[in-house]
């Protein structure tokens, strides 16, 4: 099998059989097609001839090109997955000894509670006249912050996924894994306002989308629109760092830990497979505590 054909078959396997998230597949597609081009330039066209040396050359070229450690780590993970898949079909696991570079760890941007309150208050004021898009935007931000959802999880919600009595939402996360996440009264009020007064304005015809959040034309709300909304809101907030929806997820997780939630519960709420992924928020909480101490304590 040619290397390009092997890459396409492996990606199809991830999508159809493994239920890998679209974002991961998209990243792996770019990575592995880069690998295929590298192999072909080196005169290697048969996937069975893939070896450790050419994989190391490919990653070294990426490093020399100035790619971030996180990107190189993802490329390494993609290559290991492809190599294992080829080995299961009679080939050699060429990437079995491929080392992954350690990623640079940057603490995520986290908003203060006052900043979140200010942002939500401004949204609520804008929705007072009952405009459908404004009501939707309030519900979107409230639910993102209340339940620490990924933007892909939020736009994938259907109306039936929300339990308005138990104040929970059923989420399909990475790897098609389901989890049930709680939300609070402010998010409930915003979602109810959207369902009663906003969503009917955008729902089109008897075959309207089952999606919880709708776009201007009645279809499922897209991730890009949510990114634009959150980016615009965060641009007016103090602090540097990313301005996208993930900032609200980081903020919610940190506020939970600040409020006394245990790390394991936060892990389950976020849908992290590894507790180690969640532990970065303990570093954020500690940094905030240290800053507060140095500011407030007379003998700091």
Question: Tokens 């299961």, residue?
Answer: 88
Report how far apart the first and last C-alpha atoms of the chain are (Å, whole number).
65
Per the residue annotation, which of 199, 249, 250, 255 is the catalytic one? 249
Catalytic residue among 272, 283, 288, 294: 272
Integer Cα distance of 72 and 51 in angstroms: 18
Residue of 29, 174, 179, 288 with catalytic role: 174
Active site residue 106: no
The angle, 0 to 180 degrees and rounded to 10, between the axes of the packed helices 223-235 and 113-126 is 110
- Is residue 281 annotated as a catalytic residue, yes or no? yes
Looking up tokens 């007064």, which residue turns up? 197
Q: How many residues does the chain have?
A: 300
Active site residue 227: no
Element (H, E) at 169: strand 168-172
Q: Choosing from 74, 150, 243, 255, which is the catalytic residue?
A: 150
Examine the residue annotation and report whether 249 is marked as an active-site residue of this protein.
yes
Query: Per 3-state DSSP, what percentage of the chain is helix, strand, and coil (rounded to 5)?
Result: 60, 5, 30
How many CA atoms are closer than 13 Å to the CA of 67, on its beta-carbon side?
19
Neighbours of 77 (CB within 10 A): 17
DSSP state at residue 163: E
Q: Is position 272 annotated as part of the catalytic site?
A: yes
Question: Which residues does 247 contact at the CB level (< 8 Å), separation at least 6?
Answer: 108, 109, 110, 111, 230, 234, 241
Round to whole Å and give the CA distance between 237 and 92: 52
Q: Which tokens hold the place of 154?
A: 């939020």
Q: For 195, which DSSP code?
A: I
Tokens of 34: 């880069």
- 283 catalytic, yes or no? no
Q: Report, as residue numbers or ranges, the catalytic residues.
A: 150, 174, 246, 249, 272, 281
């Amino acid at each position: 099998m040619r290397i390009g054909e092997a890459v396409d078959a492996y990606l199809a396997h991830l999508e159809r059989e493994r239920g890998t998230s679209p974002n991961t597949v998209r990243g792996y597609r770019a990575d592995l097609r880069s690998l295929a081009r590298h192999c072909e330039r080196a005169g290697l066209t048969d996937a069975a001839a893939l070896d450790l040396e050419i994989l190391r050359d490919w990653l070294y070229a990426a490093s020399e090109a100035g790619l971030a450690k996180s990107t190189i780590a993802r490329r390494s993970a993609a290559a290991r997955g492809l190599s294992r898949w080829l080995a299961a079909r009679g080939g050699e696991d060429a990437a079995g000894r491929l080392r992954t570079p350690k990623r640079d760890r940057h603490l995520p941007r986290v908003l203060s509670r006052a900043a979140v309150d200010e942002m939500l208050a401004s949204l609520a004021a804008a929705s007072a006249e009952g405009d459908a898009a404004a009501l939707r935007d309030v519900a979107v931000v409230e639910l993102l912050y209340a339940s620490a959802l990924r933007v892909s999880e939020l736009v994938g919600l259907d109306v039936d996924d929300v339990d308005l009595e138990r104040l929970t939402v059923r989420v399909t996360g990475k790897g098609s894994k389901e989890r049930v996440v709680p939300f609070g009264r402010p998010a409930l009020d915003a979602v109810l306002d959207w369902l009663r007064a906003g969503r009917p304005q955008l729902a089109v015809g008897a075959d309207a989308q089952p999606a919880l959040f709708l776009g201007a034309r009645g279809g499922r709300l897209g991730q890009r629109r949510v990114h634009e909304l959150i980016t615009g809101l965060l641009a007016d907030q103090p602090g540097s760092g990313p301005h996208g929806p993930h900032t609200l997820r980081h903020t919610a997780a940190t506020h939970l830990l600040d409020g006394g939630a245990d790390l394991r519960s936060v892990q389950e709420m976020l849908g992290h497979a590894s507790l180690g992924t969640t532990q970065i928020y303990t570093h954020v909480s500690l940094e905030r505590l240290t800053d507060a101490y140095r500011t407030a304590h007379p003998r700091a």
